[in-house]
């Protein structure tokens, strides 16, 4: 069998298997159908070429040389038809295709006449080489035109294509040139040019390049099916061999091994070895040919079972990302969920992406609008075609921006998560570790998976919201209980305060009123008519009792106004040194009557003027100084004033009874009095210090007291802001 017959046979086998396989893979696809049609024309040409080469008489050789022209006639137009379908230009080239098929059909009418192939005769080493008829010459011109146009069209499309599509077209472009240039060597001998058809073998090279493009760059998207078919074939051969060996041994040595037993043993060996051998070859081919094998239905089934059992949002997101990464061998994946309250997207689970990169895509309105309207995955490779087909400049710019962003963060695919046809989130996937693009099977799996994931994530989010609501309700109930307890304690305190108030006020009112009543009744009865000096002292006692009543009523009224928020602060710029000096002067007589010294340590530095309500600050100072005088039996009371960085500090220091820690903590509360006060000054109501603190705080200041303990004196501080 010579060189030309061998390559004719190889062309027959490859074109038939490849064309049939691609047609059966997707009969509905125009690209698949047109490529299968092209393979059919190659097959017809190769069969006739083979039969012509082995013909041993004139009539047979003439018949097959005319028959091979059927395939040769339609090779260029079917190839162009396939290229137009592949690039999406069918509608644009509709007239061209129709005219092309019509012209070549007209040539077909004359195939079996002398007008196309006139005769056959010996040329070089060929005993029966065809001689052209009159119609052969225009046919060849049209044939060459179609080939040149194919090359021109492919070159133009390559210029505008990128990504996997661009790579596919480049391989097809190279295969086209090799195939047609080699095939053209058939036509030299037609015109008596002594060059044999040495390029016939390039038809097989063309098909080999197409096959490589399928395997390497998912051309026609059948790589996974081819790979799995190859694994099954190799595995079957590997396990059938040992089985047949056992059977043949049983047949050859029936005495040692019964034949029936050998048959059963062979079948058992085949059954037991097939699965481990299949797994071995699958892993081997996956490693060296970079295939990713998975069972579409099994992945969905297993995932579906797990999704129904998980209600935790984080755990669910982890399951989805882990399934995708492990199934498709990805380098990164992120699940983004849309919050219903504010419409913002948050990262629920991230593997491999930087957090900022993971969230950056959802800021692009074009992407979210596209996913919601199309409701299908968006692959990075599609964006170049989308940009090319965009109708407006603005749309082109938005697609270009999205394309640039996806490329920057190495995002290869965006998968929408939909709830009631509204976008509720998305899954963003990176590249496959193998470097492969996403195949048709991958897209179908992801589309179905997104439907399951959307429902599961929606249910998990609802469950999470119910859980949060339950926790919030519990927290609110607990908070309300705490508030009720606080309110109850406040009521208890108020009730206790009211009781204390009634007790103290009634006592403080009853005592001076009793004195006034008793003293006045004696004056009225004339008991002191003859002793005017004694009568004067009695009236002084009445006056003092009346003053205490007025002070008590004023304190009670002040507290009432403070607690109801009716106290007004009327600030005016003043010199605090003068206010302090005046308060000291007004209380000096009380100190002298007790035999203690009252001193005002005037500051050496200038004290800046500040805005205060003079009457309120006087009230504060009088309360503090009077309080120190009352609880100091001997020694002194010193009043100081100084400027600090954050305010003006007034200090009232005494050598009196002092205070313990417990008394310091409650000193400025209503009706609070130290132990010394209850012991030595029974007439106090415990309201003065409370009122003083309130007036100081109304000025934005603070007041406090310090004491080293009982019998060691006290220091009262007032700090006012500058």
Residue 124 sits in a domain whose CATH number is 1.20.1070
Same domain, 216 and 307: no
Average pLDDT over residues 302-315: 73
- pLDDT band at residue 132 under the 50/70/90 scheme: very high
Same domain, 14 and 142: yes
Give the pLDDT confidence score for residue 676 in this predicted structure: 46
Q: Determine, yes or no, domain membership for 486.
A: no
Same domain, 165 and 27: yes
Same domain, 195 and 259: no
Instruction: For residue 705, give the nearest of 657, 633, 643, 642 by alpha carbon.
Output: 657
Last residue of a domain, one of 206, 221, 236: 221
pTM of the model: 0.44
Residue 666 sits in a domain whose CATH number is 3.30.565.10
Q: Determine, yes or no, domain membership for 482.
A: no
Rounded CA-CA distance 177/194 in Å is 23
Q: Of residues 456 and 712, which shows the higher confidence score?
A: 712
Same domain, 15 and 87: yes
Same domain, 162 and 245: no
Alpha helices by DSSP H, listed for 334-375, are 355-360, 365-374
> Considering its fold, how many domains does the chain have in total?
5
pLDDT, tens only, 336-391: 888 777 778 888 888 888 777 667 777 767 777 777 877 788 888 777 767 776 77
Q: Determine, yes or no, domain membership for 646.
A: yes
Query: How many helices, marked H, and strands, marked E, lie in the chain?
Result: 22, 14
Last residue of a domain, one of 467, 500, 517: 467
Rounded CA-CA distance 215/220 in Å is 10
- pLDDT band at residue 78 under the 50/70/90 scheme: very high
Rounded CA-CA distance 638/640 in Å is 7
Instruction: For residue 21, give the nearest of 206, 202, 210 by alpha carbon.
Output: 210
Residue entry with tokens 């007008």? 115
- pLDDT band at residue 653 under the 50/70/90 scheme: very high
Same domain, 106 and 23: yes
Same domain, 362 and 261: no
Who contacts 343 (Cβ-Cβ below 8 Å, separation ≥6)? Answer: none
The string over 588-607, giving b where at least 16 C-beta atoms fall within 10 Å of a residue's C-beta and e elsewhere, is beebeeeebebebeeeeeeb
pLDDT, tens only, 196-242: 877 766 766 776 777 666 655 555 555 554 555 555 556 655 655 56
Same domain, 170 and 72: yes
* DSSP 8-state code for residue 219: G
Q: Determine, yes or no, domain membership for 485.
A: no
pLDDT, tens only, 557-583: 666 666 666 677 888 999 999 999 998
Asked if 331 and 430 count as a contact pair (C-beta separation under 8 A), the reply is yes
Instruction: For residue 629, give the nearest of 578, 587, 659, 689 by alpha carbon.
Output: 587
In the three-class reduction of DSSP (H, G, I as helix; E, B as strand; rest coil), residue 651 is classed as strand
Q: Determine, yes or no, domain membership for 175.
A: yes
Asked if 266 and 239 count as a contact pair (C-beta separation under 8 A), the reply is no
Strands 378-379 and 117-123: unpaired
Rounded CA-CA distance 163/174 in Å is 17
Give the pLDDT confidence score for residue 121 in this predicted structure: 92
Rounded CA-CA distance 278/232 in Å is 7
Give the pLDDT confidence score for residue 105 in this predicted structure: 92
Q: Determine, yes or no, domain membership for 495.
A: no
Rounded CA-CA distance 432/436 in Å is 6
pLDDT, tens only, 668-683: 776 554 444 445 444 5
Last residue of a domain, one of 171, 186, 221: 221
Q: Which two tokens stand for residue 590?
A: 């009380």
Query: Residue 630 is part of which domain span?
Result: 572-720
Same domain, 168 and 250: no
Q: Determine, yes or no, domain membership for 55.
A: yes
Residue entry with tokens 């589309």? 447
Same domain, 353 and 231: no
Q: Of residues 204 and 610, which shows the higher confidence score?
A: 610
Same domain, 536 and 602: no
pLDDT, tens only, 403-418: 888 887 778 888 888 8
């Amino acid at each position: 069998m010579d060189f030309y017959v061998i390559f004719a046979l190889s062309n027959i086998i490859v074109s038939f298997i490849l064309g049939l396989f691609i047609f059966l893979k997707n009969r509905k696809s125009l690209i698949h159908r047109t490529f299968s049609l092209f393979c059919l024309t190659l097959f017809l040409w190769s069969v006739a070429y083979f039969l012509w080469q082995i013909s041993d008489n004139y009539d047979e050789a003439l018949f097959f040389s005319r028959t091979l022209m059927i395939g040769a006639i339609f090779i260029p137009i079917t190839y162009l038809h396939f290229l137009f379908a592949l690039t999406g230009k069918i509608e644009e080239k509709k007239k061209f295709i129709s005219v092309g098929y019509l012209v070549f059909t007209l040539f077909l009418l004359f195939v079996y006449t002398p007008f196309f192939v006139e005769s056959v005769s010996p040329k070089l080493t060929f005993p029966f080489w065809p001689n052209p008829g009159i119609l052969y010459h225009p046919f060849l011109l049209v044939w060459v035109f179609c080939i040149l146009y194919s090359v021109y069209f492919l070159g133009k499309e390559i210029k505008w294509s990128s990504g996997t599509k661009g790579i596919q077209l480049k391989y097809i472009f190279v295969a086209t040139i090799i195939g047609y240039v080699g095939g053209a060597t058939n036509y030299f001998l037609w015109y008596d040019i002594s060059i044999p058809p040495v390029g016939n073998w390039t038809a097989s090279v063309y098909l080999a390049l197409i096959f490589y493009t399928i395997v390497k760059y998912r051309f026609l998207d059948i790589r996974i099916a081819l790979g799995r078919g190859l694994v099954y074939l190799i595995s079957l051969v590997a396990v059938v061999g040992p089985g047949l060996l056992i059977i043949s041994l049983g047949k050859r040595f029936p005495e040692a091994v019964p034949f029936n037993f050998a048959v059963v043993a062979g079948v058992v060996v085949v059954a037991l070895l097939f699965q481990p051998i299949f797994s071995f070859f699958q892993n081997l081919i996956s490693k060296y040919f970079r295939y990713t094998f998975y069972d579409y239905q099994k992945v969905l089934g297993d995932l579906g079972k797990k999704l129904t059992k998980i209600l935790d949002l984080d755990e669910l997101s982890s399951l989805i990302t882990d399934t995708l990464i492990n199934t498709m061998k990805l380098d990164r994946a992120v699940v983004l969920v849309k919050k219903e309250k504010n419409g913002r997207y948050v990262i629920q689970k991230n593997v491999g992406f930087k957090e900022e990169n993971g969230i950056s895509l959802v800021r692009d309105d074009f992407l979210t609008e596209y996913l919601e309207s199309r409701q299908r995955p968006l692959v990075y490779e599609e964006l170049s075609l989308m940009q090319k087909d965009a109708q407006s400049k603005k749309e082109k710019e938005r697609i270009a921006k999205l394309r640039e962003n996806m490329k920057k963060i190495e995002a290869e695919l965006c998968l929408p998560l939909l709830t009631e046809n509204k976008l509720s989130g998305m899954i963003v996937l990176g590249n496959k570790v193998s470097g492969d693009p996403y195949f048709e099977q991958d897209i179908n799996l992801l589309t179905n998976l997104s439907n399951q994931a959307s429902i599961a994530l929606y249910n998990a989010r609802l469950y999470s919201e119910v859980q949060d609501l339950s926790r919030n309700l519990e927290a609110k109930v607990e908070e309300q209980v705490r508030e009720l307890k606080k309110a109850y304690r406040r009521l208890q305190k108020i009730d206790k305060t009211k009781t204390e108030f009634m007790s103290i006020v009634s006592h403080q009112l009853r005592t001076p009123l009793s004195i006034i009543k008793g003293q006045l009744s004696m004056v009225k009865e004339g008991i002191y008519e003859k002793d005017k000096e004694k009568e004067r002292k009695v009236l002084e006692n009445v006056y003092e009792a009346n003053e205490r009543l007025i002070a008590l009523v004023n304190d009670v009224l002040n507290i009432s106004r403070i607690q109801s928020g009716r106290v007004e602060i009327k600030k005016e710029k003043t010199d605090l040194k003068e206010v302090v000096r005046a308060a000291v002067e007004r209380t000096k007589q009380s100190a002298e009557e007790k035999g203690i010294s009252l001193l005002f340590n005037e500051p050496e530095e200038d004290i800046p003027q500040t805005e205060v309500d003079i009457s309120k600050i006087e009230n504060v100072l009088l309360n503090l100084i009077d309080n120190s005088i009352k609880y100091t039996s001997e020694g002194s009371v010193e009043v100081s004033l100084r400027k600090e960085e954050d305010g003006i500090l007034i200090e009232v220091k005494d050598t009196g009874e002092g205070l313990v820690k417990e008394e310091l903590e409650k000193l400025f509360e209503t009706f609070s009095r130290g132990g010394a006060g209850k012991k030595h000054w029974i007439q106090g109501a415990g309201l003065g210090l409370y009122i003083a603190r309130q007036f100081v705080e109304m000025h934005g200041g603070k007041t406090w007291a310090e004491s080293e303990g009982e019998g060691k004196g006290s220091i009262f501080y007032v700090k006012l802001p500058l």
